[in-house]
Amino acid sequence: MKCAAGIDLGSTTTKAVLLDESGQVLGRGITNSRSNYEVASAIAWTEAITSARFDLLERALAASVGAETGRAWAAPMRAAFRLELFLDELRELRATILRHLERNLVHRPERSGLERAVHLILDAIERDASAMFLGDAPRRSDFFRDVAGAAYVAEAQGIARTGEVAFEPLAALYDRAILEVETRSETPDVGALLRRAFERVLPPGDAEPEPARSLLLRAIELASAQRIEAVAVVGTGYGRQTLPFPKESIRSEILCHGRGAHRVFAGTRTVLDIGGQDTKAIQVNEDGVVTSFQMNDRCAAGCGRYLGYIADELNLGLHELGPLALQATKTVRVCSTCTVFAGAELRERLALGQRREDILAGLHRAIMLRAMSLLARSGGITSEFTFTGGVCNNAMAVKVLRELVHENYDPATVLNVHPDSIYMGALGAALFALGDAEAGAPALLPTFLRATTSNGEARP
């Protein structure tokens, strides 16, 4: 299968979107951005290929058992696949921590205690993994670092309370190991993971009749074996100048976010993109072409990086800020949204006894007020208004933005927030790539795609 791809290299995350020849989304991938941008791009591509396998699986199932039954099987398969992938990464984390523990002479006198504690922690996470991914488990972070890290810290704190091992060396072991684990660009064996997921969804002896098992297994084999070939790839994003792409294959992130938002919501006329390092207010016409825009200055205040700093100050995951802020009973007025001074103001307010939920509510409002100022300078808000970028995954940010829009503009203004809004820039880049392919432009592939496996995954 031929596809066009867009890769959005952001300061925090790198996203990839694949489109088939008809322009339909085939797969999406996301990973943490790294100092090695080629590795980040390659991993995002591989994640998108893995996602595409599920689309191909669902298509194969629809052809054999019908669309409704196919979707009914595909959903538990996806959850079971994520569980199997998590368990593989957890095993890699265990091996890496133990390797660091063996090499670290500082810990030699207490190595046996630390090693036993590490095994207890990771054994507990492995036991609880099924509950985190299967059944009615709520959606968690897209990143192994967040899911494993939260569970690891909770277990480590419990062990530390017994007085047997201190928390700090356990946390230090995790911090060192996770950097190594998430930087590796080894391609997972998707076929093997799908077959393991199949055994979870339809174990031997299950009530599902044997012909159904055979159909699902056949669909898995077809989805795993099909080659996915990129015929055009366009890169964009905050770090686009460092992408391992030919310069002819790079587009402005403003153009890409405008086009991606317009593709998903055809009525879009105003776009707000808040990423890790910058904020963009964009106006587009009825064809999705950018007519004007405004960007914040080089300061990261009001962006995802600012929220990340606040999360670090509170020892929370970035994905935990929004849900916690939604629990506020009042909104504390925050004087500074400067990243440099935010930590000091946060600590001062906590010392005064103010609830962190209420402080976070104030911080979110201050961030969105900056965004509203940027929107006003770009030409205001015209319905429909679409919110994109990583911060759109923050439920509190969306709530505050909706309130401010309705307070300052027509209350009937439509505010679009899509579950995949973080991919809008990559989608726009993929649409540009598809246009290049349709125009007969030569395929100028990034370096990490010039040698791929037989199934289309990037070689490390």
- What residue spans define the domains of the chain? 266-417
Cβ(322)–Cβ(395) under 8 Å? Answer: yes
Buried residues in 313-347 as b, exposed as e (16+ CB within 10 A): ebeebbbbbbebbeebeebbebeebebeebeebbe
Confidence label for 453 from pLDDT (cuts 50, 70 and 90)? very low
Q: For residues 349 and 103, what is the distance between their CA atoms, to the nearest angstrom?
A: 42
Q: For residues 156 and 154, what is the distance between their CA atoms, to the nearest angstrom?
A: 6
Q: For residues 15 and 45, what is the distance between their CA atoms, to the nearest angstrom?
A: 8
H or E element in which residue 193 lies = helix 190-201
Q: Is the pLDDT of residue 302 over 90?
A: no
| Share of residues in the chain with pLDDT > 70 (%) | 88
Cβ(173)–Cβ(118) under 8 Å? Answer: yes
Q: Is the pLDDT of residue 282 over 70?
A: yes
Query: Tell me: the pLDDT tens digits for 128-173?
Result: 999 888 876 665 666 788 888 889 999 999 999 998 889 998 999 9
pLDDT (0 to 100) of residue 336: 59
Cβ(24)–Cβ(179) under 8 Å? Answer: no
Cβ(48)–Cβ(56) under 8 Å? Answer: no
Task: Indicate the DSSP class of residue 5.
Answer: E
pLDDT (0 to 100) of residue 378: 92
Work out the end-to-end distance of the chain between its first and last CA atoms, rounded to an integer number of angstroms.
Answer: 22
Q: For residues 319 and 24, what is the distance between their CA atoms, to the nearest angstrom?
A: 29
Structure tokens at 227: 């080659």
Residue ranges in 247-319 assigned as alpha helix (H): 253-264, 304-313
> CA torsion sign, 173 to 179 to 180 to 182?
positive
DSSP string, 63-122: HHH-HHHHHHHHHHHHHHHHHHHHHHHHHHHHHHHHHHHHH-GGGGGGHHHHHHHHHHHH
Query: Tell me: the pLDDT tens digits for 95-111?
Result: 999 998 888 755 566 78
Query: Is 2.60.120.10 the CATH number for 266-417?
Result: no
Task: Count the neighbouring beta carbons within 10 Å of the beta carbon of residue 298.
Answer: 7
Strand partners, 284: 290
